[in-house]
């Protein structure tokens, strides 16, 4: 029970600090967040980072700049070393997660679409896609010129965007 309380305290702290994705997720009812915390652990914040990990692994490896971009996005969500999600995120960046991670994220987004209004989903989509594009663009640029997005990363961005488009 103390781990659940700790998780909820972290969630409340992050929401109160005003992190953009977390404000949208705070639209969940308190009961839903408690149920999710009991059932899945501190997964709510991790789910916002799955798309970034997917893009980072799109070309079969995660380079240092991609890892830094993902960890920076996590830090902006309040996930720093010591946070329960940080170690899991590090594992995802060191070893490619299986396809079930994307499948679970897709189900999560579909659930959000049933809970949040269209504007909240639009904002969530914009935030996640912007961060995912930042991860994709952080490598491959030569002296800051060009898009830096590989064909594999572009396919992954389209796949992520499709998940949101299918929620309408």
Using only C-alpha atoms, what is the Rg of the chain?
16
pTM assigned to the model: 0.72
pLDDT tens column, 16-33: 444 444 444 433 433 344
pLDDT at 129: 94
How many other CB atoms sit within 10 Å of the CB of residue 164?
Answer: 21
How many other CB atoms sit within 10 Å of the CB of residue 46?
Answer: 24
pLDDT at 144: 55
**Residue linked to tokens 């309408």:** 168
How many other CB atoms sit within 10 Å of the CB of residue 84?
Answer: 16
Average pLDDT score over residue span 61-65 = 94
Average pLDDT score over residue span 106-125 = 87
Among positive and negative, which fits the CA dihedral 119, 121, 123, 129? negative
Average pLDDT score over residue span 153-163 = 95
Please state, in angstroms and as integers, the Cα–Cα distance from residue 153 to each residue in 12, 72, 74, 128, 135, following that order. 34, 19, 20, 15, 9
**DSSP letter (8 states) at residue 5:** H
């Amino acid at each position: 029970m103390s781990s659940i309380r700790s998780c909820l305290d972290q969630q409340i702290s992050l929401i109160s600090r005003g992190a953009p994705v977390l404000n949208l997720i705070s639209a969940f009812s308190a009961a839903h967040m408690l149920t999710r915390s009991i059932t899945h652990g501190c997964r709510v914040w991790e789910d916002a980072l799955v798309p970034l990990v997917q893009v980072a692994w799109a070309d079969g490896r995660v380079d240092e700049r991609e890892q830094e971009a993902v960890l920076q996005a996590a830090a902006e969500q309040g996930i720093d070393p010591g946070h329960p999600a940080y170690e899991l995120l590090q594992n995802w960046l060191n070893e490619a997660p299986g396809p079930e991670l994307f499948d679970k994220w897709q189900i999560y987004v579909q659930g959000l679409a049933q809970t949040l209004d269209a504007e909240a989903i639009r904002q969530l989509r914009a935030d996640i896609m912007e961060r995912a594009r930042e991860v994709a663009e952080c490598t491959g640029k030569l002296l800051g010129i060009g898009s830096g997005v590989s064909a594999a990363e572009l396919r992954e961005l389209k796949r992520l965007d499709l998940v949101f488009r299918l929620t309408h």
